[in-house]
Structure 1
Amino acid sequence: MDKYVILAQVGEGTFGAVYKARSKQTGEIVALKKMYNQNDEEGLSYFALQEIKYLKQLNGSPNVIHLIDSFIHEGENSTDDRRLNLLDVEGIKKACIVVVLPYYESDLVGAQTAFTGIREVKCAMQQILTGISSMHANHVMHRDIKPANMLMRDGEIAIADMGMTTSTNTTSPLPHQVVTLWYRPLELLFGANRYGPEVDVWSCGVLFIELMSRKCPFPGRTEHHQVELILELMGQSYIDQSEGLNKLSLYEKYMPKRELPRNSQLKRIFSSWADDALDLLLKMLCPAKQRWTASQLLDHPFFTNNPSPCSPKDVPKVPAMHEYEMKQKYHNQGRTTQRREEMTHAQGPPNKKQCLPTHAPMPRSQPRSLDKNKLHSGQEGYRHKVPVTGGSRTSEETSN
């Protein structure tokens, strides 16, 4: 760790934290991902070792973040270590694994406003599908595709966070509690333990709607709520067309008891989309065995029809920000608002010039409750209605 100067914390998760740092030797700005042990008895983190394994396997793949270095850090005996202790949530009294990665100034949560037109959306989706196609060609599935794991620098996107990544060649049963809840396909919600790269494709479909509309269509609060939101949009016919879905272990637990729309609502709700965009979506948000592969999706007319995807360098510049920084910003705004309201109560109402909004905007990762009838894209020609309600990313069965 004495080779780096920590500049700021830019990420935090279940298994550790991410820091922006500068190499003392080269001056290069990098990202240091520190992954802690879950307890003193477990030794080095399994998830950290898995991440390093797949980063090495995927090194050189297009639109996938590459590994610069990795090492074990004891957290003792250096000035930098002591400085790092000040930044860590829990400190580093025990060994942890540090992964050195290229630094990307934003993720798709922080850079969402860059995708203001269909050419920019095509550019982003083309890069994301290229990265996923490359992973799948290397017999690897990501299992946590979401905006926060899509890093961006100068319009170029790299898929990051391999903590949930696994091989597509395994013959063993797999856990179903993977993929962040909002981006989790129905087969996993119903408990499937035999699946493949198609789970990443579903997540891409959800992300595609988000890029087009700036709203997540399925912001479920629990697994049960997530299933309801998906089936309100996909209809009972989705179950009928999905081989074996009604035989999965959690089907009876989570299947809504109330009446559902008979058919898919996608064409009606997204009727203002261009035909090629809607068809691309239908190829991703469909039963598992019918989903196109990432490689097939890259050959879809959506990417060759006019207007063509813009170049990454032509994606509009936006202020550098990650999901973690957005959460911190809105948390601090919320605390400022609370303090201001306390002072107002004690001192009486301010004059009009002093008045500020009484509510800080919600961070992108925890959107406001949506109007059940509206989901706006923020761009001309892409306005549509989606029957969803707001929620948080929390889940009855935690998955990161």
Structure 2
Amino acid sequence: MSSRRERERGREREEEEEDDPSRYPKYMSITGEPLQLDLDKSFLGKCRHIDEFESLNQLGEGTYGVVRRARDRKITNRTDKHAIVALKQVRIFDEDRNNGIPITALREIFLLRDLKHRNVVRVLDVAVGDELHDVYMVMEYAEQDLANLLDYARVNYSQSEVKCLAKQLFEGLEYLHDRNVIHRDIKASNLLLTAKGILKIADFGLAREYSERPLTPSVVTVWYRSPELLLGASRYTEAVDIWAAGMVIGEIIKQTPLCPGENEIDQLNKIAQLLGVPNDRIWPKIHTMPSYHQLKYRIQNPQRQNQLEILFLGVTSSATVNLINSCLTYDPEKRITARQCLSHEYFREAPAPKETSMMPTFPESRNSGNNNGGADGANDTIAVHGKRAGGYDGAGGSGNGGYVFDFDGQFGGMPQKKRHRHG
């Protein structure tokens, strides 16, 4: 009896040892081999540790990450342009913590590491914390984003200033498109502005290198989504970025979105009311769009003719209207390219685009007030206003990946009325 009890106790001890996680290596390869990882060496690789950055305040939050303003502790010269950076923490949802870094973050890192243009935001480094899921993109910092200058500061740009912004936007897009990169989420909140007047295209979480394979049409926030995407096209080109750019330029001039649809159907209606109803004369391949058969049921009380000239009458020149109209051409194959935009009459007529160094700048709203690294401090006036720029994001929208600012009534000493957006 005693020997049987001893055998049973032995089995119990073996079972307890098997259940003890300390018996197993913390990290194993896909073949089950133990990996001895020193987090200070093997895990970090060429990445920096997050402790090398001092978190200052939260700038924004999107579907795929939180963005914080931070100081690089290694840079002692505070006038260095990279002393202040933007840390974009890669958001990993609880159910995905065992699956590694999200493909959206990897795509953004791999794309941006090879892109070097003054109008494209740069990834300076990658930083990690003590856990495998604690990953940050260290990005160059920009003081403002266009959405909040329009929404909260209510900035009214002059014609030469609009041209400066439009020129930089098309130069950035030309660079991307020459490298077969489609951004797929051009919108006001993804266009950052530095204190030196430089526009930066940001948030590449939805970006793709162009290929012949099908792509999801549920990209680009709905206010800036092109007709081919709204009609379900899965094969499309960089022309989707040009449509969105045309919407952005119109928004800067009018200080309000051109087509603020509540959803895809409402967006189609608003486009038709602005540009007229599309047909096979102006868009021969419209019949090939997956949702074309539903088009006649979706559009209600549309205008039969283009209303852009009426919309911009007395506000800007005919060349401006022509450029926007060329960007907002229904047929993506006839839509103007970024390079053609830069040689358009719009940029040759007076007034000339303002020099970036002469662009107006605006206060950052007490960024130095709170260094505790949290967005809840009483002195931290950088506020997150939730989703912006395009209201309804659809299935594939990236939310607000740009920087969100609350100017707290600091423009000219007068409180600024915030324009709330749908969504």
Of 22, 42, 65, which aligns to 2:99? 42
Name the counterpart of 1:397.
395
- When residues 186 and 152 of structure 1 are mapped into structure 2, their CA distance, relative to the original with a 3 A threshold, is same
RMSD: 2.1
Q: Judge which range, 141-150 or 40-49, deviates more.
A: 40-49
Equivalent residue runs for 1:133-152 within 5 Å = 133-152=174-193
- When residues 312 and 109 of structure 1 are mapped into structure 2, their CA distance, relative to the original with a 3 A threshold, is same
Of 308, 311, 319, which aligns to 1:276? 319
Aligned equivalents of 1:12 and 1:30: distance in 2? 16
Measured after TM superposition, the shift of residue 302 of structure 1 is 1.0
Name the counterpart of 1:216.
257
* Equivalent position SS for 1:202: helix
The unaligned stretches of length 5 or more in structure 2 are: 1-49, 77-82, 366-375, 377-384, 399-423
Name the counterpart of 1:71.
127
- When residues 396 and 171 of structure 1 are mapped into structure 2, their CA distance, relative to the original with a 3 A threshold, is closer
Measured after TM superposition, the shift of residue 275 of structure 1 is 1.3
- When residues 366 and 130 of structure 1 are mapped into structure 2, their CA distance, relative to the original with a 3 A threshold, is closer
1:285-329 deviation digits (Å, cap 9, x = unpaired): 1021111110110011111211101111111122227xxxxxxxx
Measured after TM superposition, the shift of residue 96 of structure 1 is 3.3
Name the counterpart of 1:29.
84
Name the counterpart of 1:335.
none
Q: Do the aligned residues in 1 keep the contact of 2:272 with 2:278 (CA within 8 Å)? A: no
Name the counterpart of 2:199.
157
Name the counterpart of 2:134.
96
Of 46, 64, 67, which aligns to 1:18? 67
Measured after TM superposition, the shift of residue 32 of structure 1 is 0.4
The unaligned stretches of length 5 or more in structure 1 are: 76-93, 322-331, 333-362, 368-391
1:75-96 deviation digits (Å, cap 9, x = unpaired): 5xxxxxxxxxxxxxxxxxx613
One-letter amino acid of the counterpart of residue 162, structure 1: F
One-letter amino acid of the counterpart of residue 23, structure 1: D
- When residues 213 and 120 of structure 1 are mapped into structure 2, their CA distance, relative to the original with a 3 A threshold, is same
Aligned equivalents of 2:394 and 2:188: distance in 1? 21
Aligned equivalents of 1:257 and 1:70: distance in 2? 47
Measured after TM superposition, the shift of residue 250 of structure 1 is 2.2
Aligned equivalents of 2:117 and 2:105: distance in 1? 20
Q: Which has the higher contact order (CA 8 A, sep 6+)?
A: 2
Name the counterpart of 1:344.
none
Measured after TM superposition, the shift of residue 260 of structure 1 is 2.5
Aligned equivalents of 1:257 and 1:121: distance in 2? 32
Asked whether 1:293 is paired with 2:342, we answer no
Measured after TM superposition, the shift of residue 23 of structure 1 is 0.9
Equivalent residue runs for 1:216-255 within 5 Å = 216-237=257-278, 240-253=281-294, 255=296
Aligned equivalents of 2:68 and 2:233: distance in 1? 36
Q: Do the aligned residues in 2 keep the contact of 1:142 with 1:166 (CA within 8 Å)? A: yes
Measured after TM superposition, the shift of residue 56 of structure 1 is 1.4
Measured after TM superposition, the shift of residue 25 of structure 1 is 1.2
Aligned equivalents of 1:364 and 1:147: distance in 2? 15
Q: Judge which range, 114-123 or 155-164, deviates more.
A: 114-123
Name the counterpart of 1:306.
350
Aligned equivalents of 1:110 and 1:269: distance in 2? 23
Equivalent residue runs for 1:53-72 within 5 Å = 53-58=110-115, 60-72=116-128
Name the counterpart of 2:408.
none
Q: How many residues align?
A: 316
* Equivalent position SS for 1:241: coil
* Equivalent position SS for 1:68: strand
Name the counterpart of 1:262.
304
Q: Do the aligned residues in 2 keep the contact of 1:61 with 1:131 (CA within 8 Å)? A: yes
Equivalent residue runs for 1:334-353 within 5 Å = none
Equivalent residue runs for 1:357-368 within 5 Å = none
Aligned equivalents of 1:238 and 1:319: distance in 2? 47
Name the counterpart of 1:80.
none
Name the counterpart of 1:375.
none
Aligned equivalents of 1:119 and 1:229: distance in 2? 29
Aligned equivalents of 2:118 and 2:323: distance in 1? 22
Q: Do the aligned residues in 2 keep the contact of 1:237 with 1:262 (CA within 8 Å)? A: no
Measured after TM superposition, the shift of residue 245 of structure 1 is 2.1
Q: Do the aligned residues in 2 keep the contact of 1:223 with 1:254 (CA within 8 Å)? A: no
Name the counterpart of 1:107.
145
Measured after TM superposition, the shift of residue 269 of structure 1 is 2.4
Q: Do the aligned residues in 1 keep the contact of 2:328 with 2:335 (CA within 8 Å)? A: yes
Aligned equivalents of 1:136 and 1:150: distance in 2? 17
Aligned equivalents of 1:397 and 1:225: distance in 2? 16
Name the counterpart of 1:387.
none
Structure of larger gyration radius: 2
Q: Do the aligned residues in 2 keep the contact of 1:108 with 1:150 (CA within 8 Å)? A: yes
Q: Do the aligned residues in 1 keep the contact of 2:222 with 2:394 (CA within 8 Å)? A: no
* Equivalent position SS for 2:60: strand
Q: Do the aligned residues in 2 keep the contact of 1:235 with 1:265 (CA within 8 Å)? A: yes
